[in-house]
Structure 1
Amino acid sequence: MFEFDNFHISMAGLGLAVLVAYWLPRFVSGREPAASALLILLGFTTFLFFPEISVSLDPVEHPKYWEMAAEFCVIIGLFGTGLRIDRLVKREQWMPTARLLGIAMPLCIGALALFGWAVAGLTLAGALLLGAILAPTDPVLAGDVQVGPPSEGGEHPVRYTLTTEAGLNDGLAFPFVHLGILVATAGGLSLELAGEWLARDVIYRIIIGVISGTATGWLLGKLLFEWPRGNALAKTESGVIAFAGVLLAYGGTELIEGYGFIAAFVAGLTLRRSESGHEYHKRLHDFSESLEHALTAMLLVALGAALPVLWPHFTLAALAVAAALILVIRPASAWLSLAGTRFKGRQRAVVAFYGVRGIGSIYYLAYAGRHVDLANEYELWAIVACTIIVSTVVHGLTAGLAVEKVTDGADEDDLQTGLGRVEKAEMGG
């Protein structure tokens, strides 16, 4: 009489897991719930008794599904992150971000590669990929540490730095992913290959990503607010334009071999400069944020559902890599990179510690797994899954309170950097 179709079971289980994950925290906190860890846990427990569903979600056997789902999630998050940033301010404000990208991220990649090779027994290519996959922070799961929505303030230097870092380092980690794939494919790295990688995967693709994102953001600004002047698209008040803008920026850039992740963030950042005081920016941001949350919830539940497949590969080494990255490697690398900046004491510690890991790592590993045969692929997925779980627990439960503590009473800092609420009220004038 009853047909228990796996697709319908998946839909019901997904809906139940998301509802419970957002509902349960309300019993213990009045804050917006940090549901990420619960989404993974409930995905695991809900589908534990349906092994055929877990098998169908095997990321090693079906990397394309994971790649596409994570890809959508990340580009929407990056575009929304760009829209969040009200002001492009003086060089001093961007210096901590530049240091985190130029110093901390390469240090993380190198340290993780060495740790993965020495402790987890990974190959050289696998260890390099592990470093590139896990080094970037995540724009999707880091909402508690980012600046506020458009025109609503909250751009304290701590939040500003963490937001801009998350917006850019997903794209800037891609060259190292390509390097790992090159090493895995060629069995080593020659001077010729290194030169080709530097010219194509570092210089060309980054520059194209920036140019394409800037051009797309400028075009979107014109279409939304100026062309035609009397009946521009902003009058429709439809937030779906944000999704269209993401697809155009990302897809167009990838077609000409640029980094679409960089283009998605830069497009949002550039669009925010058009009619900066217009309330339509808030609608675009809210739509993209809602879409991002929905996709993220589904992806985290799916990760939990896939854990039974990955569980045999969870080892003490995987836990050691996750703990080392979150508790030692990222904090130490970022702390060192921030020497000489305006951040001192607790602010420097918070910026260094809250490098949230998540959806971007899923995308990178699925992308690598689809393009090359990896010797330690299940082990890599186990390490990434373990790292995301540890990050959602450690960062998810503490980030909101920790960042609030160091940004309370921040009016003086905000005024000094041109980011105070008074200025935001004057943006349209």
Structure 2
Amino acid sequence: MMLEINIALLTIGGLVILLGLFSSLIKGRFFISDPIVALFVGILISSGGLDLVHLEHWGKPEAILEQSARLAIAIQVMGVALRLPKGYLFKHWQPLAILLGLVMPLMWLVSGLLVYLILGLPFWVSLLIGAIITPTDPVIATSVVTGTIAEQNLPARIRYTLSTESAANDGLGYAFVFLPILLLTKPPGEAIFHWLTKTLIWEVGVAVILGGVFGYIAGKLLLWSEAKKMLEKHSFLAYTVALSIFVLAAVKLLGSDGILAVFVSGVMFSMVVNGRDRAQEEQVQEAIDRFFTLYIFVILGLNLPWQQWLELGWSGLFLVGAILLLRRLPAVLALKNQISSIIKWTDALFMGWFGPIGVAAVFYANLSVQRVGLESIWVVSSLMICASILIHGLTAVPFTKFYGKTNEPIIFYEQS
């Protein structure tokens, strides 16, 4: 097992180095995103490739994927929170409210019904899979809205809206996922009562409060340390990574939603310390995000159910097309006039298309498999995850450049 772990560490470390050296070339010329490269590297060293690493030798694959994805999401949502302008959520709450309050439930229902109608799985299992693939992924979304190409072609209102939504709905996805889990594992009355009380109030509501408290205290302590000249400049970055991990673990130990709490803590922390004024830290934060998130796509590539995908046949391919086209785009187009950050049709098309499925779905899918015990959950979810990584990753650069060509240049540099 140690040999396999060292091979995996060598692979991940080498991957981060190579992408750091050639990422602009790979993304700009070949339109290949970092998550695609990481996924294919994982497939290459898996039992389906060079047969170098077997995830099951390390332990239970579902548990490894769940916890690995949980850590990656925490680091990424903290990074999103720190990159937002100070007070952004309070100034631009309206588009986020529509996207989370209306678009997200519609995405869940549409996704679940498509799984039910196309694959014929039991209704609540279908809605569980729909809930798993509902959250838009902050890791893949970040690869779409950050970097030179995005900054030169996308207005700030689009970039910030997509980033903020992807970070916030990862934590809120907890409520959508646990409703069908509870209905599949408990009597209906008990399940609904548990969901309304424990899930919504404690695991989601308290997560917001705890995240805010932890973020505020962490920010005030940092300012106090700086005022006393006890903080070295480079300590800020380690501080924010540590805050992500601390909040994730602490809130989970209290039985609440750690991912949502991490995002809220990041927003509150940034407000207290005015993190957007730290230009150098922002750049290095992106590098840290890359190091702490790319590994999950390698691990994902080690545990793909190829044979079960083939058994889905044409229904699986039909589901991929239907989900990618109907899960999000129609809802955003229908509500475009209510979303203040959408001004033109091109805004709605871009935001409607780029709702990638990724690390959040890996986390919720493996959590669900362990709670419900149905392998079909991972089979369908992993198919949608990999399809989204590939298709959204390949279309990110050309669609971004196309957006830039079809809009007035002045829009690219507007401030939010």
TM-score interval (norm. to shorter): 0.7 to 0.9
Deviations 1:11-53 (A, max 9, x none): 4455566667775983683599513223222322333355473
Question: Which residue of the other structure, out of 305, 308, 311, is the alignment partner of 1:312?
Answer: 308
Q: Is structure 2 residue 245 aligned with structure 1 residue 247?
A: yes
Q: Is structure 2 residue 302 aligned with structure 1 residue 293?
A: no
Could you say which residue in structure 1 is the equivalent of 2:63?
64
1:252, 1:120 → 2: CA distance? Answer: 39
2:57, 2:323 → 1: CA distance? Answer: 26
Shifted more, 40-49 versus 213-222: the winner is 40-49
**Structure with greater helix percent:** 2
CA 132–410 in structure 1, closer or farther in 2 if over 3 Å, else same: farther
SS at match of 1:159: helix
CA contact (8 A) 1:250 1:264 kept: yes
Q: CA deviation at 1:118?
A: 2.1
Q: CA deviation at 1:394?
A: 2.0
User: Mind listing any 5+ residue stretches in structure 2 that lack a counterpart?
Assistant: none
Could you say which residue in structure 2 is the equivalent of 1:79?
78
Deviations 1:159-185 (A, max 9, x none): 121111111101111012111211121
Could you say which residue in structure 1 is the equivalent of 2:138?
139
Deviations 1:46-102 (A, max 9, x none): 33355473462799x521111111010000001111111113358773222211111
CA 54–121 in structure 1, closer or farther in 2 if over 3 Å, else same: farther
Could you say which residue in structure 2 is the equivalent of 1:395?
392
AA matched with 1:313: W
Could you say which residue in structure 2 is the equivalent of 1:113?
112
SS at match of 2:114: helix
AA matched with 1:306: N
CA contact (8 A) 1:334 1:351 kept: yes
What TM-score does the superposition give when structure 1 sets the normalisation length? 0.83
AA matched with 2:353: F
What TM-score does the superposition give when structure 2 sets the normalisation length? 0.85
CA contact (8 A) 2:84 2:276 kept: no
2:324, 2:134 → 1: CA distance? Answer: 10
CA contact (8 A) 1:147 1:163 kept: no
Could you say which residue in structure 1 is the equivalent of 2:257?
259
Q: CA deviation at 1:409?
A: 5.0
Could you say which residue in structure 2 is the equivalent of 1:97?
96
CA 238–68 in structure 1, closer or farther in 2 if over 3 Å, else same: same
Q: CA deviation at 1:402?
A: 2.9
CA contact (8 A) 1:158 1:347 kept: yes
1:400, 1:15 → 2: CA distance? Answer: 25
Q: Is structure 2 residue 354 aligned with structure 1 residue 354?
A: yes
SS at match of 1:122: coil
1:14, 1:413 → 2: CA distance? Answer: 35
Shifted more, 383-392 versus 289-298: the winner is 289-298
Q: CA deviation at 1:298?
A: 2.0
Question: Which residue of the other structure, out of 223, 226, 248, is the alignment partner of 1:225?
Answer: 223
User: Mind listing any 5+ residue stretches in structure 1 that lack a counterpart?
Assistant: 420-429
